[in-house]
Amino acid sequence: MKVGVISDTHGLLRPEAIAALAGCERIIHAGDIGSPEILQQLAAIAPLQVVRGNNDLDAPWAAELADELHFDLAGWQTLLVHDIADVPAQLDAAVRLVITGHSHQPKIQWRGERLYLNPGSAGRRRFKLPVTLALLEVGDTALEPRLVALLE
């Protein structure tokens, strides 16, 4: 299963992001969405799972969004939060995938058998950080993440 992972759009969904997410069977947004139109555009591509970020907290349209989600992603127990600081120090051993955003710094890190994935920021460039999202191939026995640069 091909899964698109995006974060920190801050109200900007670039055409390059839409193109990169084409063909995804699911999309996960790790917060700081910026507007409900972003969610509508993403949901038109594939089923969507999303948490709100710190910049979404006061937005009336985001009031119903969760701050944290636990879900099964094709057999992989997943935790989705906006800020890695909100990941519990003691995670349930069944959680094999942790998805965060917030830092705007893309990162793929394996800690033992657990994958920590931050797709970076797909919205407006911040400082000199790259503009990225992640694609995740989810198989029965493996997770294969890769980062996709949206701008050069």
Tell me what pLDDT residue 124 has. Answer: 87
Task: Tell whether the model's pLDDT for residue 152 goes beyond 80.
Answer: no
Provide the mean pLDDT of the chain: 96
Tell me what pLDDT residue 106 has. Answer: 97
Instruction: Kindly state the helix (H) or strand (E) to which residue 51 belongs, with its residue range.
Output: none
Tell me the whole-structure pTM to 2 decimals.
0.96
Give the mean pLDDT of 121-144.
Answer: 93
Domains in the chain with CATH codes: 2-149 (3.60.21.10)
User: pLDDT tens digits for 61-110?
Assistant: 999 999 999 999 999 999 999 999 999 988 999 999 999 999 999 999 99
Q: Which of 127, 72, 79 lies closest to 103, judged by CA?
A: 127
Give the whole-angstrom CA distance, residue 144 versus residue 41.
25
* Non-local CB neighbours of 21 within 8 Å, separated by 6+ positions: 4, 6, 27, 42, 45, 46, 133
